[in-house]
Chains A and B, each alone.
Chain A
């Protein structure tokens, strides 16, 4: 079930992208998602697509995995694209039925939105495939630091984030184990009608919650026993380093923005 989900997982490697500073990657990904809305014609999308493909090439990860990453989201994408196609007015009318009209603008708009989705998914998949989750949470902590001024609990939030990320695989394993144990006791997951399906989840959810409580308690005890007293006055073991290549990537994004502004209509 979860095996099919590529998005959000990390593939170890030592490519250009892998060794970038996670802060740079995080900023770059968010920036990319921002400037993708600048694109409004085929030329500008072509620029973005080439840029994305080049980034994927730099990561040395097979593009098949990116394409597979789209699969779970394909229904959402198709739904949005079809709505766009049916309800956008203007240009030559290809087809009309009641309130539904398929127009030239609609088709073009739908296709562009499709591209936008694919590019955003590619970029964010690239981020998660090349960045270990803990690096990501370090980067988020660093980038949230200015919020301290307004009293935002940056350390607590980032601690929760890194603990959460750390326990995602553990909880997944646990889920799988409990699921197997209950299946061995005759539970059919995902079979029958909606009510039966929901009922089948109870023997999975309750043990998961209970074990999470136990785990939280054990972890809190272990942390206190090791002298954890909160965020003040702590030093950091993992220190992030900003290299020349990160600056180069930032510059590349500035160039990309300029090119985009020039080619958009």
Chain B
């Protein structure tokens, strides 16, 4: 299911003294089955863009096409549920959305809203809890007695239980410990690879972008300033530094090596790519001697 933005403008509270324009003439396509990363400073319009992806807000100009539904400013607020089922959003700090008495009921809440029966809901809850790495002993516990990290997992399970085709993640690992962060990102990668889920990741962590994404969109003050594969976007390190966006650790280390005279065919973005390049370089140097 493709998502396409055509000349999308968005203004908060139009025609009031608090009017604020957040998106300017956005054109972008998120292809079916892709892993897209959206990066940019705080206040660059990432979260606003994200809310367009499942019609939580409607563009003030232009159109957003989600699958076969076209959302224009005049679109009625009714019958948007099918879109919301297809595009699941994990908001920032999703643990704030938990409310049910038990973990199982909270996870099943989404599916039930979309018409699943109690049994299906319970089955999904057990399945999704396992997927996010918690065992079934948690099913009957209250979500409020869990730790922060566990609550996060339950909340994400609640979104996954809707079995969306597109999964939108707004800084899903913010505030998690390194281990939890890694597990979480690997689980999303797994969903992307095994189930062909389209993933849209909003993040400040360039390492995650380099490691997982196949498409990057850079936003600045509500406009797209760059888009392409991570290789393309991260190629111009100086530009990124100027924009204070940060560079993947591996790339910045590679740059330091380049200053010392090491050459790379292509700037390595991940630790693995960097190690491979260095190893190749070394073995080649060995052969030459």
Contacts and interface: CB of A to CB of B under 8 A. Distances in A.
Contacts of B97: 178, 181-182, 185, 203, 207
A177 B96 contact: yes
A210 B56 CA distance: 24
B223 interface: no
B114 A186 contact: yes
A61 B91 CA distance: 37
Interface stretch (B66-74, B82-90, B129-137, B189-197): B82-90
Given A184-B89, A186-B110, A206 B99 contact: yes
B88 A184 contact: yes
A56 interface: no
A6 interface: yes
Contacts, number: 68
A181 B99 CA distance: 12
A3 B13 contact: yes
A53 interface: no
Nearest to A13: B17
Contacts of B18: 3, 9
Instruction: Specify the main secondary structure of chain B where it touches its partner.
Output: mixed
A62 to B, nearest CB: 7
Contacts of A247: none
Nearest to B158: A185
A207 B94 CA distance: 11
A210 B89 CA distance: 22
Interface residues of B, number: 30
Interface string B142-159: 001000000000000011
Interface string A178-194: 10111111111001000
Contacts of A207: 96-99
B280 interface: no
Given A3-B13, A177-B91, A183 B84 contact: yes
B96 A186 contact: no
Nearest to A68: B16
A11 interface: yes
A188 B114 CA distance: 11
- Give 7 closest A-B pairs by Cβ, nearest first: A186-B113, A206-B99, A181-B97, A185-B110, A184-B89, A3-B13, A181-B91
11 contacts: A3-B16, A9-B18, A65-B16, A183-B84, A184-B56, A186-B84, A186-B113, A202-B99, A203-B97, A203-B109, A210-B144
